[in-house]
């Protein structure tokens, strides 16, 4: 008969070998605020904007003379010409979202340092020379230069219209104010309004030409840093009217509806985004903390998703519009889905973008682990592997589902046998379980679910597992 001490040692060995004892990693945090365009660089000089608008006028006149202009000049602004969001994450990019907002239109014509945005805040800028910011600056986050070099943040048409002018060949790694014009696409809509999409990556603007039409959501270019710019971002500037004959004044608008918008009363957005819009832009794992070099060097991200047992892992989250007084919940889940460690991190300051890292030494439990962040009701998972997955595990990890977001039915694409599927809501409640006997599961009817975020957990015949985030529209 074994002694009690022997049993205790054996029990400890067994539990430790499967990673049952979690580490207290909550105190290893480093990180902070990421600031974009701290020096408030003017996106277009007065001379450049005058040149841009004159080129637009010239091309409108040319298209009119060729009877190719789609704008009906007798038509007033139509309430049906509304804007969708002009930045889109490239399919397959390793993020949850790719953008944040640094500045809105300045509603206060006085200067300097007398700014007012549409929401009566100060999220805009002016200059000593008398420039008041005239657009919405949407910058990429995290890893702006990497995103630009890998074409991971796309600019898309916010509304259908006609290309009025286009520029493609300017340098795209600007870090300061300069005399260069940006790469850009300018689109006139059927009601005569015109949208300017500026700072695009060199060579990335659409291959279409002046006079060609585009549909809502159609690719226009890649977010870059051409012209007067201190880093990759989209300067989105909208006019309700451009005086093609030079008589009168061009009419700049602020597309956001708000108490302090003196330019227009109604929102021009299909769905206006909140002024403060907290979001988890990325949940990633790294072998070391990323390095943000001086502009315009590409970030060294040290991204890594496969680790050896005992190897040090940097667990990272990247936030947009971090709110002071809020908290983010963080979890590490073992390959079987059980909780390894869990903690809350208090956010004491408000930042437009922020990054946070924690360090964990991986236990000797091989398989696919989950790094999970929950913030303001949003749950984002990142999968990483400890040890080497078996061939069967690797094949199972390649499973994909479509459509996502979905309405009623989700289809499973896999070369592996899917034995069981379960759907769990964000509170961990199991909403449904499906098994299919001797046949693999190929589709799941989720018509009965309410709209929202869910997790689809799939299981194979050899206990392989995969969890996929689902969104029901």
**Residue 21: which pLDDT band, with cuts at 50, 70 and 90?**
low
The answer to the question of residue 109 being in a domain is yes
Q: What CA–CA distance (Å, rounded) separates 467 from 404?
A: 14
- Give the DSSP letter string of 241-269: E--TTS-S--EEE-SS--TT--S-SS--B
Domain termination residue (choose one: 206, 236, 253):
253
The answer to the question of residue 311 being in a domain is no
What is the domain-level CATH number for residue 415? 2.60.40.10
pLDDT higher at 338 or 38:
338
Peptide bond preceding 238 in cis form (omega within 30 of 0): no
456 bridge partner residues: 423, 468
SS3 97: coil
The answer to the question of residue 346 being in a domain is no
| Full domain range(s) for residue 117 | 46-253
SS3 174: coil
The answer to the question of residue 78 being in a domain is yes
The answer to the question of residue 34 being in a domain is no
The answer to the question of residue 149 being in a domain is yes
**Residue 455: which pLDDT band, with cuts at 50, 70 and 90?**
confident
- pTM exceeds 0.85, yes or no: no
Residue 441: partners with Cβ closer than 8 Å, 6 or more residues away: 412, 418, 419, 420, 421, 434, 435, 458
Domain termination residue (choose one: 195, 220, 253):
253
Burial string for 210-239 (b: 16+ CB within 10 Å, else e) reads beeebeeeebbbbbbbbbbbbbbbbbbbbb
What is the domain-level CATH number for residue 143? 2.70.70.10
pLDDT digits (tens, 9 = 90+) for 423-438: 888 777 888 899 887 7
Q: What CA–CA distance (Å, rounded) separates 245 from 247?
A: 6
Least confidently predicted of 76-90, 176-190, 207-221: 76-90
Domain count, the chain: 2
Structure tokens at 60: 């409108």
Domain termination residue (choose one: 236, 253, 270):
253
pLDDT digits (tens, 9 = 90+) for 117-170: 999 999 999 999 899 999 999 999 999 999 999 999 999 999 999 999 999 999
The answer to the question of residue 350 being in a domain is no
The answer to the question of residue 28 being in a domain is no
């Amino acid at each position: 008969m074994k002694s009690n001490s022997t049993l205790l040692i054996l029990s400890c060995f067994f539990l430790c070998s499967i990673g049952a004892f979690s580490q207290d990693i909550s105190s290893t945090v480093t990180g902070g605020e990421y600031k974009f365009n701290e020096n408030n660089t003017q996106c277009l000089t007065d001379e450049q904007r005058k040149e841009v608008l004159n080129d637009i006028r010239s091309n409108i006149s040319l298209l009119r003379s060729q009877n190719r202009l789609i704008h009906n000049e007798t038509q007033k602004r139509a309430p049906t010409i509304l804007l969708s969001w002009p930045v889109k994450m490239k399919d397959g990019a390793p993020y949850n979202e790719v953008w944040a907002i640094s500045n809105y239109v300045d509603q206060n014509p006085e200067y300097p340092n007398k700014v007012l945005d549409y929401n009566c805040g100060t999220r805009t800028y002016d200059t000593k020379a008398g420039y008041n910011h005239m657009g919405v600056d949407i910058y990429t986050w995290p890893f702006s230069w990497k995103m630009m070099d890998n074409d991971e943040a796309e600019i898309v048409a916010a509304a259908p219209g006609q290309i009025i002018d286009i520029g493609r060949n300017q340098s795209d790694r600007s870090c300061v104010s300069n005399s260069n014009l940006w790469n850009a696409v300018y689109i006139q809509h059927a009601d005569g309004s015109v949208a300017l999409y500026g700072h695009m990556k060199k060579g990335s603007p659409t291959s279409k030409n002046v006079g060609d039409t585009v549909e809502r959501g159609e690719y226009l270019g890649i977010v870059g840093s051409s012209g007067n710019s201190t880093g990759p971002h989209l300067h989105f500037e909208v006019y309700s009217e451009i005086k093609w004959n030079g008589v009168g004044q061009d009419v700049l608008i602020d597309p956001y509806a708000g108490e302090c918008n003196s330019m227009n009363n109604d929102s021009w957005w299909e769905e206006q985004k909140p002024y403060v819009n907290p979001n988890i832009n990325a949940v990633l794992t790294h072998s070391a903390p990323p390095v943000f070099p001086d502009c315009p060097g590409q970030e060294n991200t040290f991204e890594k998703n496969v680790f050896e047992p005992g190897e040090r892992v940097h667990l990272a989250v990247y936030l947009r519009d971090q709110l002071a007084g809020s908290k983010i919940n963080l979890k590490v889940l073992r390959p079987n889905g059980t909780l390894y460690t869990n903690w809350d991190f208090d956010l004491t300051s408000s930042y437009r973008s922020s990054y946070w890292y924690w360090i964990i030494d991986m236990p000797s439990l091989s398989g696919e682990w989950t790094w999970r962040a929950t913030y303001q009701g949003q749950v984002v998972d990142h999968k990483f592997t400890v040890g080497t997955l078996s061939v069967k595990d690797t094949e199972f990890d390649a499973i994909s589902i479509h459509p996502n977001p979905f309405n009623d039915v989700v289809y499973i694409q896999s070369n592996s046998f899917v034995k069981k599927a379960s759907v769990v809501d964000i509170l961990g409640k199991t909403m449904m379980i499906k098994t299919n006997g001797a046949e693999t599961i190929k589709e799941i009817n989720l018509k009965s679910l309410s709209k929202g975020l869910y997790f689809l957990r799939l299981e194979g015949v050899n206990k392989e597992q995969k969890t996929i985030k689902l969104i029901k529209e």
